[in-house]
Structure 1
Amino acid sequence: MTAELVSYAAYLPTYRLAPEDIGGRVGGADRVVASFDEDSTTIAVEAASAASAEQYVPATVYFASSSHAYADKTNAVAVHAALGLPSDVFCADFGGTGKSSMAAIRCAAESGGMAVMSDVRTGRPGSSDERSGGDGGAAFVFAETTEQGTGIAALLSTASSTLEFLDRWRDPASIGGSQWEERYGQEEYTPLIAEVQRRALAAAGVDAPDHVVLTSPNSGIRKRLTALASGTVSTVTSTLGFSGAADVGIALAEVLDSAAPGETVLVLSAVDGCDALVLRVLPGIVNHRARRPVAEQRSGGHRISYLTYLSWRGLLDREPPRRPEPDRPAAPPSGRATAWKFAFVGSGCDRCGFVHLPPARVCRGCGSVDSMHPESRRGARGTVATSTIDRLAFSPSPPVVEAVVDFDGGGRYSLEVADGAASSVTVGSRVELSFRRLFTAGGVHNYFWKARPVSEGRSAVEESV
């Protein structure tokens, strides 16, 4: 039995590139850019954390990306660990193209699981990938609901048409992809889109969808959006431009942000063929929309310079910090501290309630030994007790801003600050946790949590270095 969609969320990184810096028109939309300490895994954790619903534990976690942080290692396992899920939850990666995200959604719907998709799109300087790409992620949780009115959407039908032709490709060792002349791909995709949407709508018993989501790496398809498929209420593609495997998820999340109960959504992904989903929005959407709509995230952000962007992507060698580079994280200590490192789980004293970050055996409050229970602060916010700027510590983007944070519910810890200039954090500032990559050494990514300033309602684009 196919489960219902019960929760969803999208995540767009904070930083932006001005369109005129990358060959776009003045006044056009900024490019969404992942920070130097973000990759497809950290973006997936952000989206999955926002989509997590306490009453639903996914049976599976499927992670789709065309820019996985690791090869020969399951990246979905890091998402699983960061969410603090039980060990019997099955995890797997889906890789390669935007088609993988449709596969993840279909498998999650069948298994009552979570589909997560994210990408960091890097193109050659001056390329269309650089101009029209975007970084981001989305997550969708499916479950068999027992309580009336809790489901967000029901999957009515699916349809697919697969065709081998050369439209877009990338050598695994290349930083950017290549694309054949767009008119060739457009001519191949056009009849496939018409056929697949006809079959999907017929199987769902829907004459005309209220909303249509159509995504494709082919720019010619995106330009002819409303000519190829049209919804009675809205017809959209991803607001980021082409965002790889995250493309269809971000576009679907934006539609769900405003769709009304009873409306239908046709999702079309034209990648190496065409795949379709037809969803009917359920009454639960009214009370279970994403906490941060896609449009709100898209409108805000910090602008960075083009040189900073190139440096973050490894396309420009800047003078490195005059400090020794960090050592590669060792497997045994990392394995022993998985709950702390990935899910930010400390310990609480059973006798006095003192919360220890990181976990401890001896209570600093009452001195009791081995009388502890796990205390997670992964979703907690906190208040900055004090902060400092470290201009000597190693960082790919110095200086390092450190803050001592007092967490709501107990616990104090010193964390690096993400997504903010030094002036954005002062004593009393409110912060939340964000999963980031501290550094990479010896091919090993050292993931941990940083403090991110809480910016309620900010929509203006702010300049930062």
Structure 2
Amino acid sequence: MIGITAYGAYVPRLRLQKKAMAQANAWLAPNLMGKAKGERSFGNWDEDAITFAVEAARDALGNDDDRSHIKALYFASTTAPFADRLNAGIVQAALTLDATIQAADISGSQKAGLTALAQALCVAQAAPNGAHPAILVAAGDRRVPKAVSAQEFDYGDGGAAMVVGRDQILAEWLGGAASTVDFVDHFRGSDEDFDYHWEERWIRDEGFQKIVPPVLKRALANAGLEPAHIDHFILPSTFKGVAEGLAKKIGLKPEAVVDNLAAQVGETGCAHGLLMLAGVLEKAHPGQTILVAQFGQGCEALVFKVTDEIATFKPAKGLSGWLANRKEETSYMKYLVFNGLVEWDKGMRAEKDNKTALTTLYRYNDGILGLVGGKCKVTGTVQYPRTRISVAPNAPEVDTQEPYKFAERAARILTYSADYLTYSMNPPNHYGQIDFDGGGRIFMDIADVEPGEIDSGTEVRMAFRVKEWDDRRGFTRYFWKAVPVR
């Protein structure tokens, strides 16, 4: 048996109300008032496709420091920050996965997330007898459409993750099918910031209606199932009624169609099929069957059967937990600023050179990207960063420290500041001393926080975020931040 052994999701906390978006643009595009129901997720200014994928993977992997069972990593995104740097390598470093794993980026299509999952399943299936490889698939997208566009209402930000393997299978892989068709419903050139979209009726009638059904039928045939046997049908689409129409066309039960989260999240790009799958697995019962498909220059479809093991696993927070962890946002201007859609006066304090010393980043990679400090083998003193000399009072032992991971440790705020004078994309700038259970103290930024919300003693968790950008050279710098536990 090959299948899904763990799953996770991530949805950013901020939820922009579509009514506020429509009202802000009613003078220019009154036709958009028809999209004014519900809300869409959007990432904080310091989140991107990589940070979404890392959070979703942590949701799947849990807080265990030992992740040596992961032997490969596939990162799927169409909005990855680097065109020529292994984005999956950043995910690997943040999750402190072994350097011996294979890692790859998968992109170029909205079905990239499901394609990555299919590739992982095939790799696990091809493993030698007796081998039990665990493969992590992590997807994230932060698609930024033009302001005052329909896509601005339809899109959402988020990520999802799946672990594939042979042990303690939650959902057995029964089969699948795929097609590759150069049907261009939208595109984004390598030197362009925004997608260019074609006409909706063409995409729906010539794309979804003609390209998807044959793939779904082949996937069901390969799995040995009739359409009526499917309990959950997942097909992301921003067009209303597409999934329902395709279900009827191939003979699926109407009640099998899974809600596409349009009113709560929006469509999270190539991660959305996996995000919906994570939501289904969270509620699924043993024996139920799942057909998940995603469209994009062809179609990818996979069929799973839920096993009895489904009751033994729970993600750290799960899609339901992230959906509940929401902050209603009505400021359309905040959305524009966070997504770089307006130029604003950042002030003189923002005028600095953010060049990253790549040599330093390499030498201290586990400390910067993995938040790995040190623990003295003689005194037991925990510290960050890891240094040759221990900080233990009156016991400055030399070369006695071993790696000590902080990212999954419980922590609390010792002291903090809410600073309106320093430059911040979301003032006031919160930062302070964070104390960790078991020892260790780190001075760091505090994210996803409102003025007056925190105090000394507030419980926090670590979140992998963008630290700053080097706009001059096009480099994104990452580090960890403290986020209040809600």
TM-score, length-normalised on structure 2?
Answer: 0.88
- Counterparts of 1:400 and 1:425 in 2: how far apart (Å)? 13
Which residue matches 2:399? 370
| Contact residue 416 and residue 430 of structure 2 kept, 8 A | yes
| Residue in structure 2 matched with residue 201 of structure 1 by the alignment | 220
Paired AA for residue 123 in structure 1:
P
Does residue 169 of structure 2 align to residue 143 of structure 1? no
1:123-143 deviation line (CA, Å, top 9, x unaligned)? 111111101100000011112
2:165 counterpart letter in structure 1: A
Q: In the aligned structure 1, how far is the partner of 2:480 from the partner of 2:214?
A: 46
2:190 matches 1:190: no
Q: Secondary structure at the match of 1:72?
A: coil
Match of residue 482 from structure 2: 451
User: Which position in structure 2 is the counterpart of 1:462?
Assistant: none
> What amino acid maps onto 1:449 in structure 2?
W
In structure 2, list runs of 5 or more residues that go unmatched: 23-32, 125-134
Quote the residue 2:272 is aligned against. 247
What does residue 125 of structure 1 align with? 147
The question of whether the paired residues in 2 share the 8 Å contact of 1:404 and 1:412 is answered with: yes
Whether 1:214 and 2:235 are equivalent positions in the alignment is yes
The CA deviation at 1:76 is: 0.3
Aligned to 2:336: 310
Whether the 8 Å CA contact 1:15–1:33 is kept in 2: the answer is yes
Q: Which amino acid aligns with 2:483?
A: R
Which of 421, 427, 434 is 1:405 aligned to?
434
CA RMSD of aligned residues (A): 2.0
Partners of 2:455 and 2:356 lie apart in 1 by 31
- Aligned match of 2:304: 279
Q: CA offset at residue 299 of structure 1?
A: 3.8
Q: Aligned pair in 2 of structure 1 residues 282, 232: CA closer, same or farther (>3 Å)?
A: farther
Deviating more after overlay: 430-439 vs 120-129: 120-129
Residue 344 of structure 2: SS of its match in structure 1?
A: coil
Percent identity for Structure 1 against Structure 2? 31
The 8 Å contact of residues 68 and 98 in structure 2, kept in 1 or not, is answered as no
What SS does the corresponding residue of 1:98 show, helix, strand or coil?
coil
Q: Secondary structure at the match of 2:147?
A: coil
- Residue 257 (1) aligns with residue 282 (2): yes
Residue 236 (structure 1) aligned to one of 240, 258, 261 = 258
Question: Which residue of 33, 51, 64 maps to 2:60?
Answer: 51
Change (3 A) 1:409 1:432: same
Paired AA for residue 46 in structure 2: D
In 2 relative to 1, CA 371–94 (structure 1 residues): closer, same or farther, beyond 3 Å?
same
The residue number in structure 2 matching 1:319 is 345
Matched letter for residue 331 of structure 1: L
Deviation at 1:92, TM superposition (A): 0.8
Report the equivalent of 1:289: 314
- Aligned mates of 1:344, 1:310 — CA distance in 2: 31
* Alpha-carbon offset, residue 97 of structure 1: 1.9
Q: How many residue pairs get matched?
A: 450
**Map of 1:349 onto structure 2:** 376
Please, which of 369, 379, 396 is the counterpart of residue 425 of structure 2?
396
Query: Could you tell me whether the CA contact under 8 Å between 2:219 and 2:302 is conserved in 1?
Result: yes
Query: Aligned partners of 2:67, 2:391: CA distance in 1, in Å?
Result: 34
- CA distance in 2: counterparts of 1:168 and 1:100, whole angstroms: 15
C-alpha contact (below 8 Å) 2:157/2:266 kept by paired residues: no
Deviation at 1:162, TM superposition (A): 2.7
Where in structure 2 are the equivalents of 1:398-437 lying within 5 Å?
398-437=427-466
Distance 1:72 1:55 in 2: 27
In the alignment, which residue of structure 2 is the partner of 1:16? 15
Change (3 A) 1:231 1:393: farther
Q: Distance in 2 between matches of 1:176 and 1:22?
A: 19
Distance 1:300 1:383 in 2: 19
Q: Distance in 2 between matches of 1:345 and 1:355?
A: 11
After TM superposition, give the deviation of residue 102 of structure 1 in Å: 1.8
The SS at the match of 2:176 is strand
Q: Which amino acid aligns with 2:111?
A: K
1:58/1:142 contact within 8 Å kept: no
Kept after mapping to 2: 8 A contact 1:138/1:253: yes
Q: SS state of the match for residue 347, structure 2?
A: coil
Question: Counterpart of 1:340?
Answer: 367
What corresponds to 1:460 in structure 2? none
Taking structure 1 as reference, are residues 437 and 77 closer, same or farther at Cα in structure 2, changes over 3 Å only?
same
Amino acid at match of 1:432: R
- Whether the aligned pair in 1 keeps the contact of 2:230 and 2:256 (CA below 8 Å) is no
Deviations 1:182-218 (A, max 9, x none): 2212222213332222221122122220111012355
Write the letter of the residue equivalent to 2:355.
Answer: R
Paired with 2:247 and 2:365, the residues of 1 have a C-alpha distance of: 48
The farther-off stretch of 442-451 and 108-117 is: 108-117
Judge conservation of contact 1:238–1:250 (CA < 8 Å) in 2.
Answer: no
Residue of structure 2 aligned with 1:86, choices 74, 98, 101: 98
Distance 2:196 2:56 in 1: 28
C-alpha displacement of 1:310? 0.6
TM-score by length of 1: 0.92
Query: What's the CA shift for 1:77?
Result: 0.2
Is residue 79 of structure 2 the alignment partner of residue 67 of structure 1? yes
Residues 186 and 220 of structure 1 are in contact (CA less than 8 Å); yes or no, is this contact kept in structure 2? no
Is contact 1:121–1:129 with CA below 8 Å preserved after alignment?
A: no
Q: Which amino acid aligns with 2:284?
A: A
- Give the Cα–Cα distance (whole angstroms) in 2 for the partners of residues 414 and 345 of structure 1: 14
Name the structure 2 match of 1:329. Answer: 356
Q: Which runs of 5+ in 1 are unaligned?
A: 456-465
Worse-superposed segment, 215-224 or 408-417? 215-224
How does 1:24-39 map onto structure 2 within 5 Å? 28-39=37-48
DSSP 3-state at the match of 1:422: coil
| Offset of residue 174 of structure 1 | 3.0
TM-fit CA distance, 1:236? 1.5
